[in-house]
Amino acid sequence: MRHAFRTASLALGALALLFGEGRALAHALGLSSGEYRAEGRSVAVRMSFAAADVLRMAPGLDGDGDGRLSALEVSRGKGPLGFLAGEGVIVRGDGARCTGVLVDAALTEGDGVLIQTRHLCPASPGHIALEVPFLERLPPGHKHVARTVGKATIDAVLSSEARGITFDGSVAVAGSEPPSKISVQGPSGFFSMGLRHVLSGWDHVLFLLGLALLPSSRRSLIVAVTAFTVGHTAALALAALGLVAPSPRLVEPLIALSIAYVGLEAARPGASGQARSRWPVTLPFGFVHGFGFAGALIQARVPGDGLLSALVLFNLGVEVAQLAALLPFALGLAWLRRRALLGSAGTTRLGGLLMIAGLGLAIARLLSP
């Protein structure tokens, strides 16, 4: 029994280290967005990045070395950002390279940076090929949500594995409304974002693992998990649609505290059977976690006419990732308990470890700059 408990403790500790190290604000998922609009002989580009990603691409911008970007540093640092008009974003019209220039760069709300470039082609192109090598300077798994506007409007999710897109730019003109025809490339991109968002952060999964720690019936666990799912789905929709937007500075510590809470519940002596009465708790915690999920879609700045499909696919990815992580853990716990290898004392200790991990993460997020 001690060996089983030691094994389970090490597994839980590894998960805590996985999300804890370097992840004080766990939901700064690697996302950026850009609009690439054909305007006669040129292609106008508007790209939005998290400030941290801009620093990864152009570390020379941080003049005072404090790890953050100021408006003054961005305005004075157009030289380091110039690569986004050259080798960072490559535009070809009918096979010929278009010459890029940096137009503007400025801080935006929510610790973001808006960068504008313009790429002049030798002639008005009918066929435009876009490539974004700047992804090589960003962490693996970074996704770039690209909207191209030409004869049709195309939304695509680009990555280091698929960093290019082509489109017909023969009819778009400056100042015109995007055409009504919308085609979406690579819908699995938003699904994979949902998967990665859960599996790269682990705090959402740890909350569910805390629920599974309680020795309870299958039905009571399903009720608690379903309430959590309903809550985070509703919050994800509200936040992604711009109806509610709580600050990550509030949401992230609350997510960590929710982990501490389920750990405390599991650590309580005689906690068996408590999952049935916990749906009133998992429902509001689901809302908190949902606002954490929504940060990824908000950061991606998905256009309004593509938001519904992105929302559905992203949420499906989240659900699949949660089930993939929860089911093996729940089955493993059931196996240990059937063989009397994990009793109430072991459950209490694991709950205590989870509570300590949640409290530590909450403090780290509160103190994070």
3-state secondary structure string across 247-283: CHHHHHHHHHHHHHHHHHHHHCCCCCCHHHHHHHHHH
Question: Regarding predicted confidence, which is higher, 179 or 254?
Answer: 254
Q: Which residues pair with 108 in a beta bridge?
A: 112
CA dist list (Å): 171 to 94, 167, 179, 230: 14, 11, 10, 44
Question: Regarding predicted confidence, which is higher, 28 or 209?
Answer: 209
Give residue 204's pLDDT. 82
Above 80 in pLDDT, residue 144?
yes
Give residue 47's pLDDT. 94
Above 60 in pLDDT, residue 10?
no
Question: Regarding predicted confidence, which is higher, 329 or 187?
Answer: 329
Nearest to 200 by CA among 369, 10, 31: 31
Q: Is 110 helix (H, G, I), strand (E, B) or coil?
A: coil
Above 90 in pLDDT, residue 38?
yes
- The 10s digit of each residue's pLDDT in 152-211 is 888 888 888 888 999 987 643 333 344 333 334 445 567 877 787 777 667 888 888 888
The DSSP output letter for 1 is -
Instruction: Please write down the long-range contacts of 262-265, taking CB distance under 8 Å and 24 or more positions apart.
Output: 262/207, 262/210, 262/211, 262/213, 262/351, 262/354, 262/358, 263/210, 263/351, 263/352, 263/353, 263/354, 263/355, 263/356, 263/357, 263/358, 264/351, 264/355, 265/210, 265/214, 265/351
Average pLDDT value for residue range 263-267: 85
Give residue 15's pLDDT. 38
Give residue 303's pLDDT. 60
Lowest mean pLDDT among 7-11, 145-149, 209-213: 7-11
Strand ranges (E), the chain: 31-39, 42-50, 90-93, 96-97, 99-108, 112-120, 127-131, 143-149, 153-158, 164-168, 182-185
Give residue 256's pLDDT. 92
Question: Regarding predicted confidence, which is higher, 117 or 215?
Answer: 117
Is the alpha carbon torsion for 62, 68, 74, 76 positive or negative?
negative
Residue 23 binned pLDDT confidence (cut-offs 50, 70, 90): very low
Above 70 in pLDDT, residue 61?
yes
Is the alpha carbon torsion for 343, 14, 365, 328 positive or negative?
negative
Give residue 185's pLDDT. 43
Give residue 324's pLDDT. 85
The DSSP output letter for 295 is H
Give residue 29's pLDDT. 57
- The answer to whether 159 and 135 are in contact (CB under 8 A) is yes
Question: Regarding predicted confidence, which is higher, 15 or 324?
Answer: 324
Return mean pLDDT, the chain.
78
In the chain, what percentage of residues exceed pLDDT 70?
Answer: 79
